[in-house]
Amino acid sequence: MAELQNDRFLRALLREPVDRTPVWMMRQAGRYLPEYRATRAQAGSFMDLCRNAELACEVTLQPLERFPLDAAILFSDILTIPDAMGLGLRFETGEGPVFDKPVRSMADAKKLYVPDMGSDLGYVMNAVSTIRKNLNGRVPLIGFSGSPWTLATYMVEGGSSKTFSKIKAMMYDEPATLHHILDVLAESVIQYLNAQIEAGAQAVQIFDTWGGVLTPRDYKEFSLQYMHKIVDGLKRENEGRKVPVILFTKGGGQWLEDMAATGCDALGLDWTTDIDVARERVGDKVAIQGNMDPSMLYASPERIRAEVGFILEKYGKGSGHVFNLGHGIHPEVKPEHAEAFIKAVVELSPQYHK
């Protein structure tokens, strides 16, 4: 593998000194870029794009051609694991993912199995190794997975949900069924992320998109417990370097101390917790990634730059901060606003690292 020319993202995750704050964006390869929309049209469908290593590589690299980003993230979807379990995933225009065979009972749960990473999910590893080769050491490559709880919400609900009524009914009335589902998912995620690391991912992120809909008690039992199990099962070194692990629970600001106690290297922070407060609460246990409101990118470039300055100042001096949005970039954002955001981090952050 090519020598890494820019490792400030990996160094910041391990709280090592850097010359400036590294920056990347969740969903940086995506619908806000016209070149992404062109490649997606060429692929035919979203999952066809994920399954074509060359095209997945092309869209992963597109934002790097435009912006001075410090990391690339694998282009894929969080639902690859449930899809590989044979639950009949399809994407409906306007309503997002739909599972034809939702998991609603213990009988359904007992049919679940850990997919084979080579055959069932080999296309993901193929994409990872293709991207890593094409990056040629420019920046590190991030691999990722959904958290067991977040994946289970789609599998039980049968798709996206606003109320989470089916999975919450299962959680309260049939917790054994849900724990069975989460166990199979946790084991799947461990194998999936380890396979990505072996294929060339240099850091991994667990996306717990829906952990924030739980009570504190239920979050610990049904989400955090399984993410802790995953962190314990991950390969933390490869190619002679540490492989940092980022945990991100959207809406999880009240549980930062518990998340830091899992042994992860960094916490993703959404925009509902001030970054100075978060830094104070977790101390030097973990790095922090975040946390600009993605909607700020609808504002003028001047306002975006001011917000970047505000967040950098709130975090303060020293390493351990990876600048990011508090969630994925919205599809309607103008690319030049994303550029204003990233350039502001590049230009305004060196003063905090002298």
Q: Which two tokens stand for residue 334?
A: 């103008």
CA angle, 244 as apex, 239 and 247 as ends, to 5°?
Answer: 150
Q: Which residues are annotated as a binding site for substrate?
A: 27-31, 77, 154, 209, 327
Which alpha helices (H) appear in 136-274, and where do they start and end? 148-157, 165-173, 175-199, 216-218, 225-233, 256-260
Q: Are strands 96-99 and 89-92 parallel, antiparallel or unpaired?
A: antiparallel
Integer Cα distance of 186 and 161 in angstroms = 22
Q: How far is CA 128 from CA 56, 201, 234, in A?
A: 9, 7, 17
DSSP string covering 101-119, please? Answer: S---SHHHHHT--PPPTTT
Active centre residues (catalytic): 27, 31, 40, 77, 154
DSSP string covering 248-295, please? Answer: EETT-GGGHHHHHTTT-SEEE--TTS-HHHHHHHHTTSSEEEEEE-GG
Q: Which residues are annotated as a binding site?
A: 27-31, 77, 154, 209, 327
User: 3-class SS at 242?
Assistant: strand
Contact criterion met (CB below 8 Å) for 206 and 248: yes
Contact criterion met (CB below 8 Å) for 49 and 39: yes
Q: Which two tokens stand for residue 179?
A: 């724990």
Q: Which two tokens stand for residue 105?
A: 């009972």
Contact criterion met (CB below 8 Å) for 245 and 165: no
Contact criterion met (CB below 8 Å) for 287 and 321: yes
Q: How far is CA 262 from CA 220, 226, 254, in A?
A: 11, 10, 15
